[in-house]
Structure 1
Amino acid sequence: MTLDELTRHALYPFQDFRENDASFLLLELYWTFIAEEALTPWPDLQLEPLQAADQDRDDWGSPNMLHFWAPALRRSVRVLLLENVGNFPPCRERQEKFNCFPSITLDFERQGITGPFDEVDQLLFRADVSSVSMEAVLWGIRYFIGEEASIESMEDAWDRYLIESGNGPSRAMRDEWYQKYLEEDDDDEEE
């Protein structure tokens, strides 16, 4: 089975993965195939799994879908499933970017492999199952692991992506919103 075949499968986008073991296994394959496709140009790159995919039967939310690291690079990638439980409209369809659903978010963290003394840089995606997220995760894995891009250049590229795609607020938009929120909060306290 290929990534293309998975996206055309009758169970896609595998929303019943918590109850349906077949959907869960296909969802796990989906994210694994994305990582494999992203790293095709670097066949000799040694990768190790860090955490198995989580079926999240108890519905805690944001289940782990993919988590691996490249020991030689001291970098890891993690994908958590992002679900639109509030049925918000997609951000890319709205002018206002705060009361909407971003198909994907990207963050950087430091993560200890066996404890706090062996931390590595981690690229963390929260992603839904969509073509938008697939393309963004493919790009992120290629750029962060394959091309060993700096975190700063990735943040800048991600900001450009958000502005061009309309898929969520850029850093400048978030900063402006927080500043406005803080000013409104200060005004409320003065009254």
Structure 2
Amino acid sequence: MAGLREQWRRNAMQVIQQKALDLFEERSFDAVTIEAVAAAAEVSPSSVYRYFGTKEGLLVVDEFDAMSADEVAATVDPVDPVGSLLRMVRRYEAPADGAAALPDAWRRVPFFFSVPSVRAALLASADATGKRIAPLIAQAGTFSPSQARVLANALTFGYLATLELWFDDGQTRPIAAYVEEGLAPLRALWI
């Protein structure tokens, strides 16, 4: 039963985020309220707050945040976390239905780098992600816990830097190309 409940919750979050993105793109981030997002998604404002916490959370929260520790461990290879990240990026980069439009994961990116409050929320989220990944890297036995924490932060904040480069360059190349190129020096530490 908990599995069905979790799937329903994730589906509801996805619908809310899609409606929020539509509104943000149409009107601008600052012009949209939580109440407007809730109305568009046909949920209560309290549901939006419960799932995302803040308006910035509508853009920053993703499926990684909702993963259990076991799901994170199954997703992140501590021997090659850059490779794990590349696999996730490639999965998100190709729309499941083959459509040419950017998947919602990438529609959020312009807001990351153009809205200061969203950028601040993104940096806080990256820090939290680094804290979740560091123990996995340390468990692999190659790096001490403090080294693992530094590497996890280098991975998460390095990923953000590659996203920003992609955005600044006009989104002309695949995001995975930026990730692969930008994080190559970091990947060399593991491989």
Do the two structures share a fold, i.e. TM-score over 0.5? no
Of Structure 1 and Structure 2, which has the larger fraction of its residues in strand? 1
Relative to the length of structure 1, the TM-score reads: 0.30
Of Structure 1 and Structure 2, which has the larger fraction of its residues in helix? 2
Query: Whose Rg is larger?
Result: 1
Relative to the length of structure 2, the TM-score reads: 0.30
Give the number of the structure with larger relative contact order, counting CA–CA contacts within 8 Å between residues 6 or more apart: 2
